[in-house]
Amino acid sequence: MSHPKPVILIVDDTPINIQILNEALQPNYQTCFALNGGEALEKVHALAPDLILLDIMMPIMDGFEVCRRLKADEALRNIPVIFITALGQAEEESEGLRLGAVDYITKPFNPALVRLRVRNHLELKSQRDELEQLGRELASRNQQLERLAHHDRLTGLPNRSLFTDRINRALAAARRQGTRIALLFIDLDQFKPINDERGHDVGDWLLQAVARRMEACIRESDTVARMGGDEFAILLPEIHTSADVLKVAEKIRLALQEPFQTSDDHVLAISSSIGVALYPDHGDNERDLLRCSDEAMYWAKKGGRNRVEWFEPR
């Protein structure tokens, strides 16, 4: 909720104290009032004040308990609390500061001092809020930069750099656990004629649509990446049998040979050539697995396209 003036909540069970504080804060602030701790918590939730002037000695729920509950609430803990008290005892001030209060104002009130302390703490809160907002913006920008560095801008898929990292992580896990992983290298058949004849916009749309179809064919633990152009690769960690790999590869091949319909009702037809390499059968490192799956993909194209080819030394 936005306000033309900062909102100050005054909490005191003595009406004359509320009146004095209200007069001291006018006309620079918008004030609201509560006569006990329970009412104060209701007002805080309803109004989200910018600062609270909180009496310590109140019946049923004292100011310390009100402050304790405010600081325990994630949405309210950053509202500055200034205790107002007639006690003036060091142990009381120490307890209030321990609970998270930012300052003390003692009775009888000095209006000029009240205004100065309220103003100073509101300025500090404003500066802190600006720093927190800046921190959130910087964190968001860092996340965006991190994503741009490791994801393909067109399809949003992991790029070669991130894919390499995930292969190496999967290999390390496979060595520890004695499991197998599979690498699929995929090249789109007849993509270049579509891109040349229909234009790059249609080609880009088709690559995005291909990426979504492949993502729909794999597990959450698998990774599909764009390696460049119309080439993609898929990492299948923790596989059990070669039949499981073939099932995934065939699922992808069949999905990609289904026609793609554009928004203007044009139908685009492509297929895919898929090469498969296994760890540890065909290599024990990222470079060899990529080379073997790429070579198998080449033989899939050589053998007529729209097919899955396992790596074999040739």
Average pLDDT across the chain, whole number: 92
What mean pLDDT is predicted for residues 256-276? Answer: 93
pLDDT at 91: 66
239 Cβ contact partners less than 8 Å away, ≥ 6 residues apart: 179, 180, 181, 182, 245, 278
- Single out the catalytic residue among 129, 230, 281, 288: 230
Looking at this protein, which amino acid is placed at residue 270? I
CA pair distance 239, 177, nearest whole angstrom: 12
DSSP 56: S
CATH match of 160-310 with 3.30.70.2740: no
Question: What does the DSSP assignment read for 73-135?
Answer: STTTTTS-EEEEES---HHHHHHHHHHT--EEEESSP-HHHHHHHHHHHHHHHHHHHHHHHHH
The answer, yes or no, to whether residue 110 has pLDDT greater than 60, is yes
CB 313 within 8 A of CB 277: no
The answer, yes or no, to whether residue 145 has pLDDT greater than 90, is no
Sign for the CA dihedral angle at 210, 211, 216, 217 comes to: positive
pLDDT at 235: 98
Digit-coded pLDDT (tens) for 158-168: 999 999 999 99
Report residue 146 as tokens. 């991190």
Q: Are strands 7-11 and 30-34 parallel, antiparallel or unpaired?
A: parallel
230 is catalytic: yes
The answer, yes or no, to whether residue 1 has pLDDT greater than 50, is no
Architecture of the domain whose range is 7-138:
3-Layer(aba) Sandwich (3.40)
Provide the percentage of residues in the chain whose pLDDT is more than 90.
Answer: 77
pLDDT at 106: 86
Domain extents for the chain?
A: 7-138, 160-310
Digit-coded pLDDT (tens) for 22-48: 999 988 999 999 999 999 999 999 999
Report the 10 Å Cβ neighbour count for 129. Answer: 12
pLDDT at 211: 97
pLDDT at 269: 94
pLDDT at 3: 52
- The tokens 């990529």 sit on which residue? 290
Digit-coded pLDDT (tens) for 184-240: 999 999 999 999 999 999 999 999 999 999 999 999 999 999 999 999 999 999 898
Please state the three-class secondary structure of 275-286 as a single string: EEEEECCCCCCH
pTM here?
Answer: 0.62
What mean pLDDT is predicted for residues 275-287? Answer: 95
Q: How far, in whole angstroms, is CA 17 from its chain's centroid?
A: 47
Report residue 70 as tokens. 């405010």
